[in-house]
């Protein structure tokens, strides 16, 4: 969690919010790709790869933008690990927000040296902003994500995560005045479509598999023989 938040905010300093959000989403997207069981679903990772190339434009990137892209990819890798661990923890009957709170505290302790070294004391207005950032940027979204993973499952959460790049691009345009190039917009759309297509296709495949199981048992009979 500490690596994910730190690298993502550092990435947003260097690249547009919509691009950072699109690359950040690749974390849970790759988690879904790793669990693929049907070859025909590989078309979605291919579309996402095209989208990443369109967004990053490695042939035209400055040093600053390349660093931002690498930071966003580090955040994506951290988010992938967070998604897996949260889902595993959420499957426990005793799991609750207390476990998430403990992980947030560990994250705060890990980042504590960066607060006390090389930073001027925050004034009154900055403290208010930091409290708001902690509530809206950490506590609320992580609590919602955790509960969604626990009750809705990775397929639902993965589909909703696919909307993050669009939300990031809209917020970046309205609040920060960040206008994306046509290449970046097309790449962002490709990543969103790939994410939604993959998670929906995977969920439908799992549903069909579950429906076939009772039929198979009925054909075999109670003893497992035809």
- Distance (Å, rounded) from C-alpha 17 to C-alpha 167? 9
Residue pLDDT, tens place only, 202-214: 767 666 766 666 5
Residue pLDDT, tens place only, 129-147: 778 877 777 778 777 777 7
- The per-residue DSSP string of 114-182 comes to HHHSS-PPP-HHHHHHHHHHHIIIIIHHHHHHHHHHHHTHHHHHHHHHTTHHHHHHHHHHHHH--PPPH
Residues 6 or more apart in contact with residue 104 via CB below 8 angstroms: 1, 138, 139, 142
Query: Model-level pTM?
Result: 0.71
Domain ranges across the chain: 2-94+154-220
Q: Is the pLDDT of residue 71 over 90?
A: yes
Q: Is the pLDDT of residue 81 over 70?
A: yes
Helix axes 164-176, 182-220, angle to 10 degrees: 160
CB atoms inside a 10 Å sphere around CB 12? 21
**Rounded CA Rg of the chain:** 20
Helix (H, G, I), strand (E, B) or coil at 105: helix
Q: Is the pLDDT of residue 86 over 90?
A: no
Residue pLDDT, tens place only, 188-199: 888 888 877 877
Nearest alpha carbon to residue 19 among 3, 28, 8, 34 = 8
Structure tokens, 77: 């890798």
Q: How confident is the model at residue 97 (pLDDT cuts 50, 70, 90)?
A: low
What's the rounded mean pLDDT across residues 154-174? 74
Q: Is the pLDDT of residue 26 over 60?
A: yes
Average pLDDT, rounded, for the chain: 75
Q: Is pLDDT larger for residue 97 or for residue 102? A: 102
- Distance (Å, rounded) from C-alpha 164 to C-alpha 170? 10
pLDDT at site 179: 82
pLDDT at site 201: 76
- Distance (Å, rounded) from C-alpha 25 to C-alpha 161? 7
Structure tokens, 122: 């925050």
């Amino acid at each position: 969690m500490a690596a994910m938040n730190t690298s993502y905010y550092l990435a947003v300093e260097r690249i547009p919010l919509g691009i950072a959000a699109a690359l950040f989403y690749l974390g849970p997207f790759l988690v879904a790709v790793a669990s693929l069981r049907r070859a025909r679903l590989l078309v979605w990772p291919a579309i996402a790869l095209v989208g990443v190339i369109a967004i990053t434009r490695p042939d035209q990137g400055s040093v600053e933008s390349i660093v931002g892209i690498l930071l966003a990819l580090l955040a994506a890798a951290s988010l992938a690990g967070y998604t897996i661990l949260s889902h595993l923890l959420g499957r426990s009957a005793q799991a609750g927000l207390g476990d998430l709170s403990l992980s947030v505290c560990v994250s705060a302790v890990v980042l504590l040296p960066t607060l006390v070294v090389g930073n001027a004391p925050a004034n009154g207005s900055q403290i208010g902003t930091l409290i708001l950032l902690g509530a809206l940027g950490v506590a609320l979204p992580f609590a919602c994500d955790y509960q969604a993973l626990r009750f809705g499952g990775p397929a639902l959460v993965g589909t909703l995560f696919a909307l993050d790049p669009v939300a990031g691009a809209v917020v970046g345009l309205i609040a920060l005045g960040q206008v994306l190039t046509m290449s970046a917009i097309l790449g962002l759309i490709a990543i969103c479509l790939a994410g939604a297509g993959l998670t929906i296709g995977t969920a439908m495949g799992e549903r069909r598999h579950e429906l076939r199981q009772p039929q198979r048992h009925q054909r075999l009979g109670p003893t497992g023989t035809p």
